[in-house]
Amino acid sequence: MFKKILIANRGEIACRVIKTAKKMGILTVAVYSDADKDARHVELADEAVHIGGSASRDSYLQADRIIAACKKTGAEAVHPGYGFLSENEAFARKAEEEGIVFIGPKHYSIAAMGDKIASKKLANEAKVNTIPGWNDAIETAERAVEIAKDIGYPVMIKASAGGGGKGLRVAFNDKEAFEGFTSCRNEARNSFGDDRVFIEKFVEEPRHIEIQVLGDAQGNVIYLNERECSIQRRHQKVIEEAPSPFISDATRRAMGEQAVALAKAVNYQSAGTVEFVVGKDQSFYFLEMNTRLQVEHPVTEAITGLDLVELMIRVAAGEQLPLAQKDVKREGWAIECRINAEDPFRNFLPSTGRLVRFQPPKETMFSADTEHLYGVRVDTGVYDGGEIPMFYDSMIAKLIVHGRDRAHAIALMREALNGFVIRGINSNIPFQAALLAHPKFVSGDFNTGFIAEHYGKGFQAEDVPHDDPDFLVALAAYMHRRYRARASGISGQLDGHGVKVGEQFVVVVMDDKGQHVHKPVSVTDFHGQSGSSAVAVGERSYKIDSKAPLGSIRVEGIVNNRAFVAQVERGAGKNPLALRVVHNGTRIEATVLSPLGARLLSLMPYKAPPDLSKFLMSPMPGLLVEVSVQPGQQVQAGEKLAVIEAMKMENVLFATQDGVVGHIAAAKGESLSVDQVIMEFA
C-alpha cells in the first residue's frame, strides 16, 4: 500500500479523499492556489504545496507543477478527484511515465472514453445499446439535414468534444437542424477548439440514469447499482438519488451488465460511471462514460456500504476487488442535494464572499465511514468564517441522507435543509426545498426537463408554498415572547417602568404585493424553564416546545407533538425589529407588536422604494472583465453593457431600455460587490 499520496484537487473532494487516506494510514499532500492558502483541504492534509495563481489555469490545471510537487514530497500516487485534470489522458500518462501511480483508470481507458464519437463506436462493438444516429463528423449543414431526416425528428446535434451543455442543440424540423448544426459547430470551435459535430435521435421524456462500475488490474469488473440524476438545471445536476424510483430490476440488471461489458472492453481499472439516457418505455441508450469519481458517489456509498475512494486506492495499488457482483448490496434509499453558492431568486447568479455563518445540520453519517449509515452526511471543503472564492465552481457542500425508503429519505432531507445555516452568501437551499416538496418529485414522476418545465420563468418566493403558513406566524410570536421574557428579567429596571409582557400580539407580515398583513395572535401558558407555550393564530392553535438558546439561528423543537427544525433570527432583513422565519424553504419577515403598536403602524405613511432604473448595478460579486460602452453613448434595449466573471462563468449584462450612458463608476479589472453601481444613465 502507498505510504503517501497527493490530491490534485481542492474543495470538498480533496477533503473527502484525505479522510479515506487517513483512515487507511496513508499520509496526504494537498496542493493549493493563491486563493486557497487558508482552505480546509490545506489544513486537513499532512503537508501542502503551493502551485500557482488563483485561476485554475495557473494552478490546478498545471500538470507539470503537480507532478513536481509529487516528486518534491515523495508522494507515490496522485488522486485527481473530479474536474480539473481527472479525465486528462496526458496527465495520467505523464504521471505513469514519471513513476507516479495515477489513482484512476489507465490513460488508454481515459482516451478511449474521452472522445464521444470514438466511445460510441466502442460501445457498439461491446454490444451496448447506443442511440440511433450518425457517429462520424458531418461536414455541411445540408448533409446534417439529410441525416436528421433519415434518423427521424426530433434529433440532437452535439459537439464531439462538448460538455456542460455547450455545443448542444435539439432540432424538430429541417430549418432547426440546418441552423442548429451551424451554431453548434461555431460554439464547439470557440469553446473546445474542435468543430466536429454529430447527430443522434433525441429521446423524449428522457431520464438521466447512470451505473457505477468498479474494475481492478486482474480483469474483474462489477457494477454498484444505479443513480437517478434527472433533476438537472441547464445540464447541471441538482439532486441525485440511489436507487432510481423509475427502473425495474430487469432494466437495472441489463444496464449494469452492459456497463460492465463496456468497462471490460477498455480494460477499465478504477471507479467509473457509465451514463445512460432512459426513455419513458425503459429503453436505454449509452451516453458517455465518466472515467473518474463522480460528485454524487456518496449516494452509492450509502446504499452499498462501500467506501469508493478506498476501493479506488486499493485497486491503484494493485489489489484485487474484495467483492464479487453477488456481494453488492442495495439497502435503503439515499438522496444528495448539491448546496451551491448562488441566488435562486436572482436567476441563480453566483454568490461569492465570506461565510459569516456556516452551520450544517448534525451529522450522523460520515465520509470515509460506512459503519454509520441511515442518517445525515455533509461533504464540504469550507468552514465557518471561510471565503467562497470567485475562481472555482459554486458548490459549497453536498448534503446526503440515507433513509429506510424514498419517503423517509425525502423527509430526512427536508429536515436537514431546514437546519442548514448559511449566512454571508446566498445559497440554493430554498430551491432544493421547493423541489423536494413538489408533488411530481415526491411521486417520482419526472424527467430531465422537470426544472425547465416547472421553473421555466425562474424561481420566485411564491414557488415554495408552505403546507401550514400560520405555523411560521406562530413561531415568530413564540420566539418574540421568549425574547420579551428575557428582557423582563433584566435587573435594575425602575419600579413601574419595567418590561411588561402581555399575551396578545399582532404579527405583521408582508404579502406578495408588498402590503402589510396583520395577524392577531395570543401566546398563553408560557413556561420560561421548559420553553413551552400555547400559541393561537386565528382558529388554529399550536403547542410549541423548544430549548433552542436565544440568539441561535437554528430552532429545534416540538409543535403539536411533532418534531420541527426551523431558522429564526432577529434583524436579518431591512427591518431591525423583524424576525426572519424560514421553514421548508418558505421565508417570512415578521414584526411582532402589541395591539397598540400594530394600530399605530397602520397609520404610518407608505414609503416608496427609490427609483434605481437609471443605474446599472452588479447583480453578483465578481470581476468586471469588460465595459462595452462609453460615456455619452446612446444604447438600445438588449445592447451589451458589461461582462462580469464569477465562478468560471461569464455573465453578460444587457440594457433593459433605451438610454444614454452618463457616468461610468467602475473600471475594467475591478472586483465588484452585489448591487455596486457600474454605470449611471443620463
At residue 109, the 3 state secondary structure works out as helix
The residues, any chain, with a CB within 8 Å of residue 137's CB and separated by 6 or more, are 117, 160, 196, 197, 198
Q: How far is the C-alpha of 566 from the C-alpha of 89, rounded, in Å? A: 47
Beta strand segments in 404-446, E:
421-423
Q: According to the 3-state scheme, what is the secondary structure of 214-277?
A: EECCCCCEEEEEEEEEEEEECCEEEEEEECCCCCCHHHHHHHHHHHHHHHHHCCCCCEEEEEEE
Cell 382558529, located at residue: 539
Query: Which grid cell sits at 651?
Result: 455573465
Q: How far is CA 85 from the centre of its chain?
A: 21
At residue 442, the 3 state secondary structure works out as helix
Which H or E run includes 656?
none
Beta-sheet pairing, 671-672 with 586-593: unpaired
Beta-sheet pairing, 357-359 with 387-388: unpaired
Helices and strands in the chain, H and E counts: 17, 39
Q: How far is the C-alpha of 388 from the C-alpha of 391, rounded, in Å? A: 9
Of 176, 228, 288, 336, catalytic: 288
Q: Is the peptide bond before 243 cis (omega within 30 degrees of 0)?
A: yes
Task: Name the packing angle between helices 11-23 and 308-316 (round to 10°).
Answer: 70
Q: What backbone torsions phi and psi does residue 228 show, to the nearest 5 degrees?
A: -95, 115
The residues, any chain, with a CB within 8 Å of residue 582's CB and separated by 6 or more, are 418, 566, 567, 568
Q: How far is the C-alpha of 202 from the C-alpha of 199, rounded, in Å? A: 9
Q: How far is the C-alpha of 286 from the C-alpha of 260, rounded, in Å? A: 12
121, with CB counted inside 10 A (0-12, 13-18, 19+), is middle
Query: Which grid cell sits at 290?
Result: 465518466
Contact 214, 315 (CB under 8 A): yes
288 catalytically annotated: yes
Distances (CA, A) of 618 to 12, 118, 382, 488: 29, 43, 25, 45
Active site residues: 288
